[in-house]
A and B are shown apart, each in its own frame.
Chain A
């Protein structure tokens, strides 16, 4: 019973952050919710063998693995639970919001692993070596994937040059 309580407390405490992180990874709310539920369920099954300190890393790893493996298998072949319509941010009065929306749309065009590298680097503030360990890839691959991802965002994303000129 104590394990059940601990697990419930863990879910309550960490789900918001992990759900947001999953949303950043996938760019899709329903997919993020499904991945997170899947990862927490896997964690629940092995809860007694997982140390409290490593629980969040376990969940994140489960989310990441499921996301990347599901993407490799072809996400569209799987059922996508969607309790409500995907979010569609409405028009914002400021140009900064438009830029972020444009960047969000550009992120959606990246391959999942490239996107995961950028999320881990610019959201989680992880170093290349840490990203390499999380994604189980070589540090050189992290570097190249980050460079390619940024280059693609420059191409797909908003034109940032006028903004810089205005700011300067």
Chain B
């Protein structure tokens, strides 16, 4: 054993290190044992509480904690939410918006402001967020005289929606409040009333009448359609895209800005294709500019108009003759497999009640019409033969006493005078 080990042993065994034992230590030990038992029980209880809190906190957090600040920037693409920036004259009222978001307790995650403004004397907030069931949803909250009320919530079925119908906080009324997406300048009712109203600075268009089910188009400053759809019933929010969508035409010629009757043409022409599979089989329709309007003997006006239609990956070209807003002579040709656009579209329409027949030729860009012939096939018809020494480059339109129903033929040339393949028309079948 080394000196340090020897000294260590002596030090440890030094009798002077002996401590006096407390007198009768057992009662103190028993008391401490009881305290240990109590502390152990308290510890276990605390542990149970901690575990319970850990398990329950996430569920409780959404219910009891104050929601995060409401986001005002557009929702990310693909989130299932509207990609609208926050708008409205009260969008900067953070207290109102936050209180409205608190009122919408079923939402989870980030609540985003869609619009905040006044409708009458009420303050209205439109919000969007992922609902408690994981579905993107909209909510409208109204503040009437300091009382916040969640008026409605609705799942977002189409994040590309172009307009929302506000629930009227004042209750049922003979009006339709429409919030157009930011950037929209005009809202146009496509059928029925045919109303067209500018979008005011506040964003909400107040349209007279109950317009549920009516198709509307939202136009930008240049008159282009930036969205369309059917107005929901009262109490509903989202304008739902209908079976007819306004679209851009691929036709290389004069294409008109979409308008209300184009939407109607989509329905008329779509009906020619027959029902598609499923309940909804939408068509996209684009109007192609015609030559003009014709005066009929009755005093009514006829306006032939060409259309391009898309459905289920196929492209059709056709026309509708509108007589005082009523469609006549709808026709479609499937041009999907032709590969090239035809040099001309030829419209023939018999209007027996008007004792008239219409002929219109719509030319492709760079094509001129040098001759037209329509053969008479029935008694009372007269063959029409026109030759144009100066070929027409704006097309041709004519109202005849009677439409020749026999075959026809068009002579065409390009801008250099080079003849193009003539177009042969089959006999006319109304």
- Residues of A at the B interface (CB closer than 8 Å) are 7-8, 11, 15-16, 19-20, 23-24, 29, 32-33, 37-38, 40-42, 44-45, 89, 96, 99-100, 103-104, 107, 118-119, 122-123, 150, 153-154, 157-158, 160, 163-164
Contacts and interface: CB of A to CB of B under 8 A. Distances in A.
11 contacts: A16-B19, A29-B19, A37-B25, A40-B29, A44-B33, A100-B14, A122-B12, A123-B9, A153-B4, A154-B4, A160-B4
B36 A41 contact: yes
Contacts of B22: 33
Contacts of B21: 15-16, 19
- Chain B, interface SS category: helix
A160 B231 CA distance: 103
Given A15-B21, A20-B17, A37-B28, A150 B9 contact: no
B390 interface: no
Interface size classification for chain B: 20 to 34
A44 B17 CA distance: 27
B17 A24 contact: yes
B40 to A, nearest CB: 9
Given A100-B10, A103-B8, A160-B7, 17 more contacts: A8-B26, A11-B29, A16-B18, A16-B19, A16-B21, A19-B21, A20-B17, A33-B22, A40-B25, A41-B32, A41-B35, A45-B36, A103-B11, A118-B8, A123-B13, A157-B4, A160-B4
Contacts of A150: 2, 4-5, 8
B3 interface: yes
A40 to B, nearest CB: 5
A20 to B, nearest CB: 5
A41 B84 CA distance: 70
Nearest to A160: B3
A23 B7 contact: no
B44 to A, nearest CB: 15
A37 B29 CA distance: 6
B3 A164 contact: yes
A150 to B, nearest CB: 6
Contact of B25 (A15, A104, A154, A157): A15
Nearest to B35: A41
A84 B9 CA distance: 28
B4 A122 contact: no
Contacts of B11: 99-100, 103-104, 107
A158 B21 CA distance: 31
Contacts of B300: none
Contacts of B33: 41-42, 44-45
A120 B188 CA distance: 96
Q: Specify which of B2, B3, B11 lies most central, judged by the most chain A CB atoms within 10 Å of its CB.
A: B11
A33 B4 CA distance: 28
A44 B9 contact: no
B314 interface: no
Contact of A23 (B3, B5, B19): B19
B7 to A, nearest CB: 5
A38 B8 contact: no
Nearest to A38: B32
A8 B23 CA distance: 12
A15 B3 CA distance: 31
Nearest to A87: B19
Contact of B19 (A19, A45, A100): A19
B5 to A, nearest CB: 7
Contact of B7 (A40, A45, A157): A157
A32 B19 contact: yes
Nearest to B10: A100
Contacts of A37: 25, 28-29, 32
A29 B22 CA distance: 12
Contact of B29 (A41, A118, A119): A41
Nearest to B9: A122
A99 B7 contact: yes
B7 A100 contact: yes
A119 B11 CA distance: 10
B12 A119 contact: yes
Q: Specify which of B3, B16, B29 lies most central, judged by the most chain A CB atoms within 10 Å of its CB.
A: B29
B30 interface: yes
A44 B29 contact: yes
B355 interface: no
Contacts of B5: 122, 150
Nearest to A18: B21
A160 B18 CA distance: 25
B37 interface: yes
A123 B8 CA distance: 9
A16 B32 CA distance: 19
B7 A158 contact: yes
